[in-house]
């Protein structure tokens, strides 16, 4: 049931991305209702899979590489769906829906089996930390997707190419607003996640240096973006470049820590 639900969610996420790309094949508006419906069905299937995980294993999907990545994938999809329903624009599905699908694929490959997790208050603290941290990373991913699209559309406009990208992508102001709000939301969520992690380490005398390193780098990146936009007067282009490149760096650091053998089967 868990694997089937994840496979269905992956198919639906990719289907939403394919529908969102329809204007590139023919000069018609993107089918907003169809994209959001397919994406929503993917979220439902994914949620059902994680609920089955909770029932089967008796714990939240926050420990073990596969379950944690699956939760991150679901959060990316939920945030994407919320943004698209509010904006009535589905172009973000081109970047974010495949990202959600890729995370779910890696989760399936890694195995959807939980690692050992503490019970009681310790387990609750850990679950809150992981959930908030992944919510922050999912918001970071949304901001990065908007940043990449902003740079692509801006380049097309500067080159005076008014093709499919110009017709299909939302206005630059909309992409900048998504980038800004998602960065702020991600910064708040990740700050809370890091604060809980620090309190958890002090209270239970548990230190995971790779996890601390990765979380600190992600938090610093989002904090710099939020401060730059709020106090530094960053223009939209600069914010888009910094957001997309810093998110790529955070992902590469995660991969490097995994390859280096830093993983213990937990959050990383």
The string of pLDDT tens digits covering residues 65-118 is: 788 889 889 988 998 999 888 878 888 888 889 989 998 998 888 788 776 555
Out of 70, 87, 117, pick the residue that ends a domain: 117
Angle between helical axes of 32-57 and 2-20 (0-180°, round to 10): 160
Q: Please provide the distance, in angstroms rounded to a whole number, between the alpha carbons at the two ends of the chain.
A: 25
User: pLDDT value at position 173?
Assistant: 87
Q: Choose the weakest-confidence range: 31-45, 117-131, 187-201, 246-260.
A: 117-131
CB 236 within 8 A of CB 176: yes
Residue 159 sits in the same domain as residue 254: yes
CA distance 206 to 113: 23
Beta carbons within 10 angstroms of residue 117's beta carbon: 19
Q: Examine the domain organization and report whether 113 and 128 are in the same domain.
A: no
Structure confidence at residue 164 (pLDDT): 67
pTM comes to: 0.75
Q: Are 67 and 190 found together in one domain?
A: no
pLDDT digits (tens, 9 = 90+) for 197-254: 888 777 767 767 777 788 889 989 988 888 888 776 788 899 999 999 999 999 888 8
Buried b (16+ CB within 10 A) or exposed e, 97-107: bbbbbbbbbeb
Does residue 197 sit in the same domain as residue 105?
A: no
**Residue at a domain's end among 61, 91, 117:** 117
- Distance separating alpha carbons of residues 145 and 178, to the nearest angstrom: 9
Residues 77 and 128 in one domain: no
Q: How high is the mean pLDDT of the chain?
A: 83
| Residues 89 and 151 reside in one and the same domain | no
Q: What is the pLDDT of residue 51?
A: 93
The domain boundary, picked from 68, 97, 117, lies at 117
The reply to whether 81 and 197 lie within a common domain is: no
On whether both 161 and 248 belong to a single domain, the answer is yes
Residues 53 and 63 in one domain: yes
Contacts of 264 (CB under 8 A, 6+ apart): 115, 208
Which residues have C-beta within 8 Å of that of residue 235, sequence separation ≥ 6? none
Residues 112 and 152 occupy one common structural domain: no
By three-state DSSP, how is residue 52 classified? helix
Q: Which residue has the tokens 């399936």?
A: 108
Q: Give yes or no: residues 133 and 105 share one domain.
A: no
Residue 185 and residue 69 in one domain: no
Sign of CA dihedral 215, 219, 220, 225: positive
**Strand, coil or helix: what is 117?**
coil
Give the chain's domain count: 2
Domain range for 96:
1-117
């Amino acid at each position: 049931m868990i694997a089937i639900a994840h496979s269905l969610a992956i198919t639906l996420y990719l289907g939403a991305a394919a529908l969102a790309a329809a204007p590139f094949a023919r000069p018609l508006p993107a089918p907003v209702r169809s994209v959001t419906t397919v994406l929503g069905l993917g979220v439902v299937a994914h949620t059902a899979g994680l609920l089955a995980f909770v029932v089967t294993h008796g714990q939240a999907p926050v420990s073990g590489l596969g379950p944690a990545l699956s939760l991150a994938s679901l959060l990316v999809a939920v945030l994407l769906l919320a943004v698209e329903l509010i904006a009535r624009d589905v172009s973000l599905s081109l970047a974010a829906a495949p990202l959600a699908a890729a995370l779910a694929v890696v989760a399936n490959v890694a195995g959807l089996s939980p690692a050992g997790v503490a019970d009681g208050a310790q387990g609750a603290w850990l679950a809150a930390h992981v959930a908030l941290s992944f919510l922050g990373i999912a918001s970071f991913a949304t901001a990065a997707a908007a940043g990449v699209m902003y740079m692509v559309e801006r380049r097309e406009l500067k080159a005076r190419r008014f093709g499919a990208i110009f017709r299909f992508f939302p206005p630059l102001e909309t992409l900048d607003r998504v980038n800004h709000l998602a960065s702020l939301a991600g910064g708040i969520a990740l700050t809370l996640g890091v604060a809980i992690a620090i309190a958890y380490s002090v209270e239970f005398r548990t230190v995971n240096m790779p996890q601390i390193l990765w979380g600190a780098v992600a938090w610093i990146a989002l904090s710099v973006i939020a401060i730059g936009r709020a106090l530094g007067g960053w223009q939209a282009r600069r914010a888009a470049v910094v957001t997309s490149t810093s998110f790529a760096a955070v992902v590469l650091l995660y991969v490097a820590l995994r390859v280096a053998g830093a993983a213990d089967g937990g959050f990383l």
